[in-house]
Amino acid sequence: MAKTKEMHGVKVRETRADQVFNVANLVFWLVVLFVILYPLWLILIASVSDPDAVLAGEVIWWPKGFSWMGYEAVFQYDELWGSYANSVFYTIGGSALSVVITLAAAYALSHKFAGKKFINLAITFTMFFSGGLIPIFLNVRDLGLYNTRAIMILMNLVSVWNLMVARTYIQSSIPYELYEAAIMDGSNHFTYFIKCVLPLSGTIVAVLCVYYGVARWNDYFTGLVFLRNREYYPLQTILKEILATLSVSADSDSFFAAYADNLGGLQEAMRKAEVAKYCCIVVSTVPAVILYIFMQKYFVKGVMIGSLKG
Amino acid sequence: MTPMQSRPVSRHSLGYRFQRSVRRDWQLWVLLIPALLFFLIFCYFPMYGVQIAFRDYKAAFGITGSKWVGLKHFEAFFDSYYCGRMFRNTILLNVYGLIFGFPIPILMAILLNQLNSKRFKGFTQTAIYVPHFISTVVLAGMIYLFFSPTSGIINKLITSFGGESIYFMIEEGWFRPLFIGSDIWQNAGWNTILYIATLTSIDPQLYEAATIDGATRMQKIRHIDIPHLIPIAVMMLILNCGSLLSSNTDKALLLQTSGNIKTSDIIGVYVYNTGLGKAQYSYTSAIGLCLNVINFVIIMTVNAISRKLSDISLF
């Protein structure tokens, strides 16, 4: 514990009350960090442990009886990887489209033009009122988008919140004088947007990529409501089949059935499938977390700029 | 797409001004069009389609061709056996969620701001955001695994202290604590972002002046941090009030079992199960419409009250 604090190069001694506060605060954060990180650690170590040890609840701090058995089973499960590929496609394709459309609209809304007030109102209104699940479903069906890959891209294409964050960012971090100068030099909105605004919007692009990308990767409901063909299913739908079962019932579930074939005996499979669940969690969550960790430098900054006047 | 609602500021007619706007700023409109099309097709079309709540929807006649039945579906819903239970479940889940979930991010932001070590602060900030990036499906899966009566770590802990294993997932009393607790675990850290942004925007001279005047950390929190956080906290509270009836439907669906249905049967889940599962489109549209109207009225009311009392409002 530092007993002094620097202020303009002058060391100021902390009072007794503050020292107590600091210790209590540190303890608080250690507890919070434990509560947040331990479940993630537990998933990780259980995924590489011996199934018997996991089932007996003996895996607590470190992996026990190290084995790749769960991962081997997961890697042999073709439907999971098919859905994985689907999710990669939905996430990359959908997010790219979302980011482009959001940025273009945010740029337009950062300017003054007649009708802007009405457009703003119309867009904000959708944040607080919607037709509801069933009218949305019927609308999608009537448009012929039910049970297509396209709906996985088009649903939730633009988020009002992200649009506002991007608009605020453009307004506050790109000076209007730049626009005036560019117009003087003969550029128009299109060339100014592409040549000046985009290169200056790296931070907000990173923020939007993380927001849209993670939302799409983790989206379960869209696939649940609008898809019927198994070959279109996103990762989360298949994951749900694997994870959210109270007790493992091998006959009802293709995953466990496939697993049984690989290992011989059903009993054995049912017991060991428990570990495969942990492996599925790791395999499906790692991309989102990695994206976050790589982008986090830009994106905490960008979120803060964008949210200050949100 | 016309500026019908904007206040007339010039003597020219609206149509003329719109034409002039489009002629002068057509490039801006081109950049806007994809987003506008999205909102029109995926948000405003369904709002038009919500009229099936007042009709008997038949696929053959379509949305506009089905027969008008007035308030029949609304009456059926309010007379139904499960209506009261569903409203109670939905409201309780959200009210408890708000009571327990709302103050925690504020507390975390204040305490994070007080950490001395830059490195520890940075690490903590990164770590508390991580659970937000876990999907609802995985979160539900984690709950099933950790709270399993046979191999789950929680029950291992309980039994090692001599207690009895608890069947968390099939006891109705545990649905709300699990739902809300896991929500706090997943999102409390993430929700600190706004508050941290507010705290970092406070002029450091205020803290320095307070230090020189001999203020302790607690006093600085009380007299500097909290007054600065109140406006943004009130805004977040208003926003949260706007979703008092709309829970995370997919999470409730994932955590629902036949054992906890008495508390987990919330309106969103019922609309999904009955509407899509049993194709009762008109009836469940009516329920959804009720929900959305009530939510909308609540947020408008809270917003108006807050504007009157404290000058803090969303719009």
DSSP A258-281: HHHHHHS-HHHHHHHHHHHHHHHH
In the predicted structure, residue B7 carries a pLDDT above the cut 70 = no
pLDDT at A252: 42
For chain A, say whether B245 makes contact (Cβ under 8 Å): no
Please give the CATH superfamily to which domain A74-235+284-308 belongs: MetI-like (1.10.3720.10)
Which has the higher per-residue pLDDT, A301 or B113? B113
* Separation in Å, CA of B306 to nearest CA in chain A: 17
Query: Cβ of B272 and A225 within 8 Å?
Result: yes
Q: How far apart are CA A259 and CA A246, in angstroms?
A: 18
The model carries a pTM of 0.86
* Separation in Å, CA of B137 to nearest CA in chain A: 6
Q: How confident is the model at residue A221 (pLDDT cuts 50, 70, 90)?
A: very high
β-partners of residue B68 are: B55
Contacts of A26 in chain B (CB under 8 A): 115
* Separation in Å, CA of B251 to nearest CA in chain A: 9
A7-21, B168-182, B289-303: least confident range: A7-21
Residue listed under structure tokens 């909290």: B226
Sequence-distant (6+) residues with CB within 8 A of B11 are none
In the predicted structure, residue A299 carries a pLDDT above the cut 80 = no
For chain A, say whether B244 makes contact (Cβ under 8 Å): no
Q: How far apart are CA B198 and CA B205, in angstroms?
A: 15
Measure CB to CB from residue B189 to each of A36, A135, A245 and give the nearest one.
Answer: A36
List of E strands, B186-243: none
Question: ipTM, 2 decimals?
Answer: 0.85
DSSP class of residue B174?
G
DSSP class of residue A85?
H
Burial of B189 (0-12, 13-18, 19+ CB in 10 A): buried
In the predicted structure, residue A210 carries a pLDDT above the cut 70 = yes
* Separation in Å, CA of A104 to nearest CA in chain B: 5
Query: Cβ of A220 and B45 within 8 Å?
Result: no
Best of B26, B135, B186 to mutate (most A CBs within 10 Å, chain A): B135
Q: How confident is the model at residue A12 (pLDDT cuts 50, 70, 90)?
A: low
The mean pLDDT of A196-213, rounded to a whole number, is 88
The mean pLDDT of A216-224, rounded to a whole number, is 93
pLDDT at A251: 40
DSSP class of residue A158?
S
Contacts of A212 in chain B (CB under 8 A): none
CATH fold for the domain made of B73-310: MetI-like fold (1.10.3720)
Query: Cβ of A42 and B6 within 8 Å?
Result: no
Q: How far apart are CA A157 and CA B38, in angstroms?
A: 7
The pLDDT tens digits for A249-267 are: 434 444 555 555 554 555 6
The mean pLDDT of A106-128, rounded to a whole number, is 90
Helix (H, G, I), strand (E, B) or coil at A10: strand
Count of A–B CB contacts within 8 Å?
300
* Separation in Å, CA of A205 to nearest CA in chain B: 17
For chain A, say whether B313 makes contact (Cβ under 8 Å): no
Among chain B residues, CA nearest to A156: B42
